[in-house]
Structure 1
Amino acid sequence: MSNNSEFKKNSKHDPDAKFADNERLKTQSNFLRGTIEADLDDQLTGGFTADNFQLIRFHGMYQQDDRDIRSERAKQKLEPLHNVMLRARMPGGVIKPHQWLAIDKFAEDKTMYGSIRLTTRQTFQFHGVLKPNIKGMHQLLNSVGIDSIATAGDVNRNVLCTANPVESELHQEAYEWATKISEHLLPKTRAYAEIWLNGERSESTESKTEEPILGSTYLPRKFKTTVTIPPDNEVDIHANDLNFVAIAENGKLIGFNVLVGGGLAMTHGDVNTYPRKADDFGFIPAEHTLAVAEHVVSVQRDWGNRSNRKNAKTKYTLDSFGVESFKAEVEKRAGVKFEPSRPYAFTHRGDRIGWVDGIDGKHHLTVFIQNGRILDYPDKALKTGCRKIAEIHQGDFRMTANQNLIIAGVPAEQKAEIEKIAREHGLIDDNHSEQRKNSMACVSLPTCPLAMAEAERYLPSLIEKTEAILAKHDIANDDIILRVVGCPNGCGRAMLAEIGLVGKGPGKYNVYLGGNREGTRVPKLYLDNVGEDVYLPALDELIGAWAKERLTLENNEHECFGDFVIRKGIVAEVKVSKTDFHA
Structure 2
Amino acid sequence: MTEKIAPIEQLKIDSNYLRGTIQQGLADPITGAISEDDNKLLKFHGSYQQDDRDVREERRKQKLEPAYSFMIRARLAGGVITPTQWLAFDKIATDWAQFGLRITTRQTFQWHGVRKPHLKLSLRAITDALASTIAACGDVNRQVVSASNPLLSEHHALVQYWAEQISDAFLPKTNAYAEIWLDGEKVDALTQGDEVEPIYGKTYLPRKFKIGIAVPPLNDVDVFAQDIGLIAIIEQDNLVGFNVAIGGGMGATHGDDTTYPRLGSVIGFTTPENVLAVAQAIITTQRDHGNRQERRYARLKYTVDTMGVESFKAEVERRSGVFLSAPRHYRFEQNGDRFGWVKAANGRWHLGLRIDSGRLMDTAQGSWLSGMRAIAQIHQGHFRLTCNQNLIIADVATRDKAKIDELVAQHQLDGYQTQSGIRSTTIACVALPTCGLAMAESERYAPVILPKLEHLLAQHGLTNERIVFRISGCPNGCSRPYLGEIALVGRALGRYDLRLGANFTGERLNVIYKQNIAEEEILSTLNELFSRFAKDRVDQEHFGDFLVRHEVIAQPTQKLIPLVLQSA
2:475 equivalent among 482, 485, 488:
488
Q: CA deviation at 1:250?
A: 2.4
Alignment pair present for 1:405 and 2:391: yes
Q: Could you tell me how far apart the structure 1 residues matched to 2:463 and 2:392 are?
A: 26
Alignment pair present for 1:306 and 2:292: yes
Q: Which amino acid aligns with 1:185?
A: F
Q: Could you tell me how far apart the structure 1 residues matched to 2:462 and 2:495 are?
A: 27
Q: Which amino acid aligns with 1:560?
A: H
Q: CA deviation at 1:502?
A: 0.4
Q: Could you tell me how far apart the structure 2 residues matched to 1:326 and 1:257 are?
A: 16
Alignment pair present for 1:78 and 2:64: yes
| The 10-residue stretch of structure 1 (154-163 or 472-481) with the greater mean CA deviation from structure 2 | 472-481
Query: Per-residue CA shift, 1:7-50, capped at 9, x if unaligned?
Result: xxxxxxxx754211110110110000000000011111101103
Q: Could you tell me how far apart the structure 1 residues matched to 2:456 and 2:240 are?
A: 46
Alignment pair present for 1:67 and 2:49: no
Task: Say which SS state the counterpart of residue 563 (structure 1) adopts.
Answer: helix
Task: Say which SS state the counterpart of residue 125 (structure 1) adopts.
Answer: strand
Alignment pair present for 1:505 and 2:482: no
Task: Say which SS state the counterpart of residue 108 (structure 1) adopts.
Answer: helix
Alignment of 1:141-160 (within 5 A): 141-160=126-145
Q: Could you tell me how far apart the structure 2 residues matched to 1:418 and 1:123 are?
A: 22
- 1:532 alignment counterpart: 519
Task: Say which SS state the counterpart of residue 137 (structure 1) adopts.
Answer: helix
Unaligned runs of 5+ in 2: 563-568
Query: Is the CA contact (8 Å cut-off) linking 2:149 and 2:220 kept in structure 1?
Result: no
Alignment of 1:127-206 (within 5 A): 127-199=112-184
Q: Could you tell me how far apart the structure 2 residues matched to 1:178 and 1:543 are?
A: 40
Query: Per-residue CA shift, 1:441-475, capped at 9, x if unaligned?
Result: 00100110100000000001211111111111122
- 2:258 alignment counterpart: 272
- 1:356 alignment counterpart: 342
Q: CA deviation at 1:578?
A: 2.2
- 1:324 alignment counterpart: 310
Alignment of 1:40-55 (within 5 A): 40-55=26-41
Task: Say which SS state the counterpart of residue 150 (structure 2) adopts.
Answer: coil
Q: Could you tell me how far apart the structure 2 residues matched to 1:117 and 1:161 are?
A: 18
Q: Could you tell me how far apart the structure 2 residues matched to 1:578 and 1:512 are?
A: 19
Alignment pair present for 1:561 and 2:546: no
Q: Which amino acid aligns with 1:568?
A: H
Alignment pair present for 1:25 and 2:11: yes
2:428 equivalent among 431, 441, 457:
441
Q: Which amino acid aligns with 1:578?
A: L
Query: Per-residue CA shift, 1:102-158, capped at 9, x if unaligned?
Result: 111111111133x00001000000000000001111111111101101011100000
Q: Could you tell me how far apart the structure 2 residues matched to 1:475 and 1:46 are?
A: 49
Query: Is the CA contact (8 Å cut-off) linking 2:258 and 2:561 kept in structure 1?
Result: no
Q: Which amino acid aligns with 1:167?
A: L
Q: Could you tell me how far apart the structure 2 residues matched to 1:460 and 1:51 are?
A: 36
Alignment pair present for 1:222 and 2:208: yes
Q: Which amino acid aligns with 2:117?
A: P
Query: Per-residue CA shift, 1:470-515, capped at 9, x if unaligned?
Result: 1111222213111110001110011000011100001010111110
Q: Which amino acid aligns with 1:402?
A: N
Moved over 4 A (4+): none
- 1:106 alignment counterpart: 92
Q: Could you tell me how far apart the structure 1 residues matched to 2:53 and 2:129 are?
A: 33
Q: Could you tell me how far apart the structure 2 residues matched to 1:208 and 1:459 are?
A: 48
Q: Could you tell me how far apart the structure 2 residues matched to 1:196 and 1:130 are?
A: 15
Q: Could you tell me how far apart the structure 1 residues matched to 2:77 and 2:147 are?
A: 11
Q: CA deviation at 1:169?
A: 2.4
Alignment of 1:443-462 (within 5 A): 443-462=430-449
Alignment pair present for 1:211 and 2:197: yes
Q: Which amino acid aligns with 2:427?
A: M
| The 10-residue stretch of structure 1 (434-443 or 15-24) with the greater mean CA deviation from structure 2 | 15-24
Alignment pair present for 1:386 and 2:386: no
Task: Say which SS state the counterpart of residue 296 (structure 1) adopts.
Answer: helix
- 1:9 alignment counterpart: none
- 2:553 alignment counterpart: 571
Q: Could you tell me how far apart the structure 1 residues matched to 2:51 and 2:479 are?
A: 20
- 2:231 alignment counterpart: 245
> Would the alpha carbon gap of residues 378 and 255 (structure 1) be closer, same or farther in structure 2, given more than 3 Å must change?
same
Q: Which amino acid aligns with 2:168?
A: E
- 1:7 alignment counterpart: none
Q: Could you tell me how far apart the structure 2 residues matched to 1:534 and 1:165 are?
A: 39
Q: Which amino acid aligns with 1:544?
A: S
Q: Could you tell me how far apart the structure 1 residues matched to 2:481 and 2:254 are?
A: 14
Q: Which amino acid aligns with 1:366?
A: G
Query: Per-residue CA shift, 1:170-196, capped at 9, x if unaligned?
Result: 110000000000000111101111100
Q: Could you tell me how far apart the structure 2 residues matched to 1:50 and 1:349 are?
A: 38
Q: CA deviation at 1:396?
A: 0.3
Task: Say which SS state the counterpart of residue 98 (structure 2) adopts.
Answer: coil
Q: Could you tell me how far apart the structure 2 residues matched to 1:164 and 1:532 are?
A: 35
Query: Is the CA contact (8 Å cut-off) linking 2:475 and 2:490 kept in structure 1?
Result: yes
Query: Is the CA contact (8 Å cut-off) linking 2:302 and 2:561 kept in structure 1?
Result: no
Q: Which amino acid aligns with 2:472?
A: V
- 2:21 alignment counterpart: 35
Q: Could you tell me how far apart the structure 2 residues matched to 1:130 and 1:527 are?
A: 40
| The 10-residue stretch of structure 1 (260-269 or 41-50) with the greater mean CA deviation from structure 2 | 41-50
- 2:534 alignment counterpart: 547
- 1:417 alignment counterpart: 403
Q: CA deviation at 1:200?
A: 5.5
Q: Which amino acid aligns with 1:166?
A: L
Q: Could you tell me how far apart the structure 2 residues matched to 1:152 and 1:382 are?
A: 26
- 2:321 alignment counterpart: 335
Q: CA deviation at 1:574?
A: 2.1
Q: CA deviation at 1:167?
A: 2.2
CA RMSD of aligned residues (A): 1.5
Q: Could you tell me how far apart the structure 2 residues matched to 1:259 and 1:50 are?
A: 35
Alignment pair present for 1:121 and 2:106: yes
- 2:270 alignment counterpart: 284
Q: Which amino acid aligns with 1:425?
A: H
Q: Which amino acid aligns with 1:142?
A: T
Q: Could you tell me how far apart the structure 2 residues matched to 1:56 and 1:45 are?
A: 17
Q: Which amino acid aligns with 1:103?
A: F
Alignment of 1:422-433 (within 5 A): 422-429=408-415, 430-433=417-420
Q: CA deviation at 1:210?
A: 1.2
Q: TM-score, normalised by structure 1?
A: 0.94
Task: Say which SS state the counterpart of residue 268 (structure 2) adopts.
Answer: strand
Q: Which amino acid aligns with 1:120?
A: T
Task: Say which SS state the counterpart of residue 72 (structure 2) adopts.
Answer: strand
Q: CA deviation at 1:208?
A: 5.5
Task: Say which SS state the counterpart of residue 53 (structure 1) adopts.
Answer: helix
